[in-house]
Structure 1
Amino acid sequence: MSKSEKNPREPMPGTLRHWREALPEERMAHLVKDTARGFSRSLQARLREHAVQYGHWTFLRILWQTDGLTQRQLSEQAGVAEPTTFSALKTMESLGYLTRQKLPDNRKQVRIFLTPKGASLRALLVPKAVDVNRIALAGISTEDIAATRRTLLAMIENLAGDEAAAGRSDDDTSASRASNGSVNWPGDALNGDAS
């Protein structure tokens, strides 16, 4: 049987078979974390084909949607600390993906704008993210995908409510996301239901 003929729902030899067999009652947090890691690894491999660093993906995605943000706005939308954003933007600027500009109406505020090179990456990279989502969702019914989406959104809302009730600040959560490597899943904001 060729690799393409295998049922995509069956665990492949050498993969995370333990999720189905050894650890069938594992906590949801671990399942979600490993799923996100799988998405990330798959997208990283595709970004490398175009010499784009995985850490730049999130910033590019945001700027493709809303060019001209400040560094702080970009940090907030990416869910990472400002020093991390500054470092990434500096590298992305040296690669010719973006420029930083002071606007005439506010000389103190620096805005981030994509260059033609940075904007052109969208046509190359977004299809890669769509591919990752297509691969991840192969063999899963439309109904199960819709139920999973509803469930994950409800979990996000529940956890946000818990965070708000506990009085945690946005700075704490941004630093936590940056330190634990959380990232947006491939294609989530650019492709509607593709994620």
Structure 2
Amino acid sequence: MRAQDYPIDRSIGFQLGRTFRRLRPIMEQQINSAGISYGMWFFLRALWERDGVSQREIAEMVGLTQPTAWAALRKLEAQKMVTLRPDEEDKRRVLVFLTERGKGLEEVLLPRVEHINEVALQGISNAELATFQRVLRKIEANISPAD
């Protein structure tokens, strides 16, 4: 196969990557002002939906490995955004809880990110968005390692 037979704009990875490279700086601008890095954002976002989860559970929620999650959680703990506590039932597990400071960022940051989504989704119908999200989930399932 030659490049002319498979143009770069047909590549899902290229299209997703290009969109990501444009979206990330906009996101960073909005969250960095609150002292939150891009990597930390996803942990806070997940905890706003479900607080008090284990390190393993939150790693799965955000799609990262446990060691990567642990590093981010330690940074959030150092910034007083979360507390890490041993599980009373299983001392090997660590549970992650938002602090008041971490909870308070939800009302500051979530509207900013919602606005970014509103701008990015201009001219896209709810049906188109639902199809897009369904297709992305299928792509992720297709390329995810088998358990």
TM-score range, shorter chain: 0.7 to 0.9
Q: Detail structure 1 runs of 4+ shifted over 6 Å in the superposition.
A: none
Matched, 1:79 2:63: yes
> 1:140 is paired with a residue of what secondary structure?
coil
Please state how far the C-alpha of 1:83 moved relative to its aligned partner: 2.1
Query: Is 1:139 equivalent to 2:115 in the alignment?
Result: no
- Match of residue 124 from structure 1: 108
Question: Gaps spanning 5+ residues in structure 2: where?
Answer: 1-6
Sort the Cα spacing of 1:96 and 1:140 in 2 relative to 1 into closer, same or farther, 3 A: same
Once the 2 structures are TM-superposed, how far is the Cα of residue 142 of structure 1 from its aligned partner? Answer: 4.0
* 2:122 partner amino acid: A
Matches of 1:84 and 1:96 in 2, distance apart? Answer: 19
Q: Structure 1 residues 108 and 140, CA, compared in 2 at 3 Å: closer, same or farther?
A: closer
Change (3 A) 1:149 1:97: same
Q: How far is the alpha carbon of 1:134 from its aligned partner? A: 0.7
Q: Which residue of 2 aligns with 1:156?
A: 140
Q: Is the 8 A contact 2:80 2:99 kept in 1?
A: yes
* Residue in structure 2 matching 1:50, options 29, 34, 40: 34
Cross-structure match for 2:25? 41
Question: Once superposed, what is the RMSD of the aligned Cα atoms?
Answer: 2.2
Tell me which residue corresponds to 1:8: none
Matched, 1:31 2:49: no
CA 1:150–1:117: 2 relative to 1, 3 Å: same
> In structure 2, what is the equivalent of residue 92 of structure 1?
76
Distance 2:53 2:125 in 1: 38
TM-score, normalising length from structure 2?
Answer: 0.81
How many residues end up aligned between the 2 structures? 141
> Which segments of 5 or more consecutive residues in structure 1 lack a partner in the other structure?
1-22, 170-195
CA distance in 2, matches of 1:48, 1:117: 15
Query: What corresponds to 1:59 in structure 2?
Result: 43
